[in-house]
Amino acid sequence: MAEEIHPFPSATKSFYPHLQINHFFHFLFFVIGLSLGLITSICYHSFPFISSRPSPYSFASSPPQSQPTTMTVSTGLASPPPSLLVISRSNGTNSNDTSIVSLKEHNVLMHGMKDEELFWRASMVPRIQETPYEDVRPKVAFMFLTKGPMPLALLWEKFFHGYQGLYSIYVHAHPSFNDTTPESSVFYGRRIPSQPVYWGSITMIDAERRLLANALLDFSNQRFILLSESCIPLFNFSTIYSYLLNSDLSFVGSFDDPRGPGRGRYNPRMQPHIRLSHWRKGAQWFELRRDLAVHVVSDRKYYPLFRDFCRPACYSDEHYLPTLVNILYAKTNSNRSVTFVDWSRGGPHPRKFGGVDVTDELLNRIRFGSKCFYNGNETSMCFLFARKFLPNTLEPLLRVAPVLLGFDP
Ligand SMILES: *[C@@H]1O[C@H](CO)[C@@H](O)[C@H](O)[C@H]1NC(C)=O
Ligand SMILES: *[C@@H]1O[C@H](CO)[C@@H](O)[C@H](O)[C@H]1NC(C)=O
Ligand SMILES: *[C@@H]1O[C@H](CO)[C@@H](O)[C@H](O)[C@H]1NC(C)=O
Ligand SMILES: *[C@@H]1O[C@H](CO)[C@@H](O)[C@H](O)[C@H]1NC(C)=O
Ligand SMILES: *[C@@H]1O[C@H](CO)[C@@H](O)[C@H](O)[C@H]1NC(C)=O
Ligand SMILES: *[C@@H]1O[C@H](CO)[C@@H](O)[C@H](O)[C@H]1NC(C)=O
């Protein structure tokens, strides 16, 4: 490991031109340099994050067995920061595979990387399509953008129950939020290093990219869905999983709104990269294919234009992704969101659903009350998730979930 420690060997080397001394001194300096190198190397081993920004929260205390299905494949683990290339195995039966087991790391979500480094790592794409691991199954990344508490967590627990290895969860909460998630929860240890998010500002896009980047580090994640604490699933896990995995398209709402709140928010200073004809609007709640997700975290062309020229009353969360997708991925986008929001009452905020609203009739209207295309065929199953559901909907939702939503009893 000594060759990875730069400060001392290079400092020693730079002395040589100034020292016209005999071989004995050369040898002495070499021994001292080597010793310092070894000592430094040992120090780095003891404090693997010594040079990293202290994380606002640490997942170091979480026992590795809390994530039995996740193995870390990495290179150069000894050098800070930790390598985070991850292959998740669908189950742990292949535990003889020492090349993987010996590299099993702490909880994968613990890192001290700044966004710049995180996005760089997440932007890497393997050029060999076939993985060398036989039992890797594609996963859906469920990315929760929250303020903190998750009042509907129990519904999600039931939703995920029994499907380990087919999903991964990421939670972006406010950094000051004090987590009390029990170890038995699927949300335990799934928070990612975060920054405050201010409504309507570019920090919202930053948080979305941070979620995507963390999720991209796991190569098994193939689909990436953004959710909030007020979202609910409308079908059981197996239905949603196959709907997403079998689709050729991303689900990003993207349409041309000729009115003031659409084209009126376009800023001509975004030219020439973004012209008015490129400009699109859509709901924030996206679902992305992996190739598009990689492009979003590695975008250095369009993001700065939104950061600088899309300020209220222009909201990046309503325009950045719809426009980016329209420019780069129009052919692989469905132009619709799979997350239902009720804007039918007008006004600046969507309808909030409370406990008394939760009926079979309402849920079935959301589940099957629209028309759209899925893989080229018309269908009435357009939404997989819905918002905004208030905390007091938990109890009625848990009651209808087994039969109506088809959750495992
Ligand atoms: C593990 O290795 C042992 C001995 O090499 C072998 O008998 C066993 O079948 C292996 N198990 C698996 C799951 O590969
Ligand atoms: C675990 O993986 C093995 C080997 O790939 C497979 O035969 C087995 O069915 C899997 N078990 C579960 C519970 O998925
Ligand atoms: C979280 O806990 C820390 C230490 O226990 C405390 O200083 C801080 O105020 C708490 N934050 C919130 C938002 O409650
Ligand atoms: C989505 O919209 C783009 C234009 O922005 C169009 O090229 C594409 O065909 C549309 N996709 C579908 C599935 O309708
Ligand atoms: C779409 O319709 C075609 C022809 O009717 C059918 O073969 C195909 O399976 C359908 N695809 C889906 C996803 O339902
Ligand atoms: C999931 O829901 C579908 C449709 O409602 C149902 O056919 C299927 O049996 C359910 N799956 C499980 C594992 O309960």
Question: Confidence band (pLDDT; 50, 70, 90) for 33?
Answer: low
**Could you tell me which residues are beta bridge partners of residue 168?**
141
Query: Is the CB of 323 inside a 6 Å radius of any atom of ligand 4?
Result: no
In this predicted model, which residue has the larger pLDDT, 141 or 11? 141
In this predicted model, which residue has the larger pLDDT, 40 or 155? 155
**In a mutational test of the pocket of ligand 1, which residue from 96, 134, 135 has the highest number of ligand atoms less than 8 Å from its CB?**
96
Question: For 167-219, how does the pLDDT look when each residue is reduced to its tens digit (9 = 90+)?
Answer: 999 999 999 999 889 999 999 999 999 999 998 899 999 999 999 999 999 99
Ligand 3: which atom is nearest the Cα of residue 178? Answer: 1
d(CA 302, CA 283): 18
Q: How much distance in Å is there from the Cα of 99 to the middle of ligand 1? A: 14
Query: Is the CB of 379 inside a 6 Å radius of any atom of ligand 2?
Result: no
Predicted confidence at residue 88, as pLDDT, reads 57
d(CA 315, CA 76): 41
> Which ligand has an atom closest to residue 136 CA?
2
Mean pLDDT of the chain: 80
**In a mutational test of the pocket of ligand 5, which residue from 244, 375, 380, 382 has the highest number of ligand atoms less than 8 Å from its CB?**
375
Residue 98 scores a pLDDT above 70: no
Question: For 39-86, how does the pLDDT look when each residue is reduced to its tens digit (9 = 90+)?
Answer: 544 444 433 333 333 333 232 333 333 333 333 333 333 333 444 556
d(CA 90, CA 353): 36
Q: How much distance in Å is there from the Cα of 378 to the middle of ligand 5? A: 9
**In a mutational test of the pocket of ligand 6, which residue from 160, 239, 384, 405 has the highest number of ligand atoms less than 8 Å from its CB?**
239
> Furthest-apart CA pair in the chain: how many Å?
91
46 CB-near residues (< 8 Å, 6+ apart): none
The residue length of the chain stands at: 409
Dihedral of alpha carbons 351, 167, 246, 159, sign: negative
Q: How much distance in Å is there from the Cα of 285 to the middle of ligand 4? A: 18
Amino acid at 124: M
Question: Confidence band (pLDDT; 50, 70, 90) for 10?
Answer: very low
**249 backbone dihedrals φ, ψ, rounded to 5°:** -115, 155
Q: 136: which 2 tokens?
A: 């890797």
Q: 263: which 2 tokens?
A: 């084209």
Predicted confidence at residue 200, as pLDDT, reads 86
- pTM value is 0.75
Cβ(110)–Cβ(66) below 8 Å: no
Ligand 1: which atom is nearest the Cα of residue 93? Answer: 13
d(CA 360, CA 285): 24
d(CA 272, CA 289): 27
Ligand 1: which atom is nearest the Cα of residue 94? Answer: 13
**Tokens 């979620």 correspond to what residue?**
211
- Ligand 3 neighbours, Cβ below 6 Å, are 176, 178
On the 0-12 / 13-18 / 19+ scale of CB atoms within 10 A, 160 is middle
> Which ligand has an atom closest to residue 101 CA?
1
Question: For 271-321, how does the pLDDT look when each residue is reduced to its tens digit (9 = 90+)?
Answer: 999 999 999 999 999 999 999 999 999 999 999 999 999 999 999 999 999
| Closest C-alpha residue for ligand 4 atom 11 | 334
| Closest C-alpha residue for ligand 3 atom 5 | 178
* Mean pLDDT value across residues 87-95: 51
Predicted confidence at residue 258, as pLDDT, reads 93
**In a mutational test of the pocket of ligand 3, which residue from 178, 180, 191 has the highest number of ligand atoms less than 8 Å from its CB?**
178
Query: Is the CB of 46 inside a 6 Å radius of any atom of ligand 1?
Result: no
| Closest C-alpha residue for ligand 2 atom 4 | 135
- Range among 14-18, 92-96, 264-268 rated most confident: 264-268
Q: What is the phi-psi region of residue 311: left when phi exceeds 0, alpha when psi lies from -120 to 50, beta otherwise?
A: beta
In this predicted model, which residue has the larger pLDDT, 97 or 201? 201
| % residues pLDDT > 70 (the chain) | 73
| Closest C-alpha residue for ligand 2 atom 1 | 91
**In a mutational test of the pocket of ligand 2, which residue from 69, 88, 91 has the highest number of ligand atoms less than 8 Å from its CB?**
91
Question: For 318-349, how does the pLDDT look when each residue is reduced to its tens digit (9 = 90+)?
Answer: 999 999 999 999 999 999 999 999 988 888 78
| % residues pLDDT > 90 (the chain) | 63
Query: Coil, strand, or helix at residue 222?
Result: strand
Q: How much distance in Å is there from the Cα of 279 to the middle of ligand 4? A: 14
Query: Is the CB of 93 inside a 6 Å radius of any atom of ligand 1?
Result: yes
d(CA 349, CA 173): 22
Q: What one-character-per-residue DSSP string does 301-368 give?
A: SSHHHHHHH--TTS-HHHHHHHHHHHHH-GGGB-SS-SEE---TT-SSSPPPB-GGG--HHHHHHHHH
Predicted confidence at residue 52, as pLDDT, reads 33
> Which ligand has an atom closest to residue 330 CA?
4
Q: How much distance in Å is there from the Cα of 367 to the middle of ligand 6? A: 14
Predicted confidence at residue 25, as pLDDT, reads 54
